[in-house]
Amino acid sequence: MRASDISLYENKFHRFGIDALGKKFILKNFEVIVPDMPNLPVTLCRRENKDQSYFVKSISTKTKIVLHFTAGYLGGDIATLTQPGNLVSVPFVIARSGHIYNLWPSNFWSYHLGPGASGGNTLMSKTSIAIEISNIGPLIKKGDKMVTSYSTFDIYCNYSENEYFEKINNYRGFSHFAKFSPEQYLALRSLLKYLTWKYKIPYTILPKEKRYDVFTDSEALEFTGICTHVNFRSDKYDIGPAFDWNKIQ
């Protein structure tokens, strides 16, 4: 999908609540109070058929927040994260528009790190809150076009449209990544302020020199604050170096 078409695609989901697989959702807008900040707009996003089989209704103490990008587009993101009976999901998805979709209560849990995660997939998933930012992730230059790493037929933008991507030094095999939108940074910062306040998690970000390192098991167990998927898995590249950490500090 071209980056210039994403806004219309997201608006369609926000208006009709139908994901890429045709599943219907009930959407309800509300605001939460964030201390010392404007109220945070959030959209409850619940299955019309009341299916809740993609998360575990068990409360556990939260010690960290893990940032991901979806490697997709909103309708597909929601579809993937709400597959019936598939316990791989997150409570929050942030669209490129800045809309925050809440798929289920954040005091519950679902798997989001994967096999081999530092600290253990189950324990780390239970004790963390995952946020997915809708973003296609790594891009590949093909002639004068930028295509997604998942399909060379999926044209994201022209190479001249550098407002849509970041060129970086080689990171885990890729040198171009899709940019995050200004609206996403604003929404994410507010959401992080709210969640760290609500769950008494330190608003701590790893120092720059350790930001893309993989935790040891003991480091994963001991860390409290804000981290990313790459800190748990050497085969992942979200949230990646195209993310501007200064915008959420």
What is the residue extent of each domain of the chain? 3-135+180-248, 139-175
> Does the domain formed by 3-135+180-248 have CATH 3.40.80.10?
yes
pTM metric for this prediction = 0.96
CB 78 within 8 A of CB 102: no
Q: What is the pLDDT of residues 17-43, one digit of tens each?
A: 999 999 999 999 999 988 888 999 999
| Residues constituting the chain | 249
CB 12 within 8 A of CB 1: no
* pLDDT the model gives residue 91: 99
Which two three-digit tokens encode residue 229? Answer: 């998927």
pLDDT in tens, 42-55: 999 999 999 999 99
Tokens of 56: 């575990």
pLDDT at residue number 34: 83
Rounded Cα distance between 129 and 112, Å, is 9
pLDDT tens per residue across span 84-105: 999 999 999 999 999 999 999 9
Task: Provide mean pLDDT across the span 207-214.
Answer: 95
Q: Give the number of other Cβ atoms within 10 Å of residue 166's Cβ.
A: 17
Question: Which two structure tokens, joined as six digits, stand for 46?
Answer: 């619940």
Q: Are 96 and 181 in contact (CB under 8 A)?
A: yes
Backbone angles phi, psi at 230, to 5 degrees: -65, -20
- Smallest CA-to-CA distance from 114 within 238, 15, 7 is with 238
pLDDT value at position 25? 99
| pLDDT value at residue 4 | 97
pLDDT-derived band at 169 (thresholds 50, 70, 90) equals confident
Sign of the alpha-carbon torsion through 13, 181, 78, 226: negative
Token pair for 92: 């929050």
- Give the residues across from 25 on adjacent strands: 47
Give the pLDDT mean for 60-71.
98
Residue 70 reports pLDDT greater than 90: yes
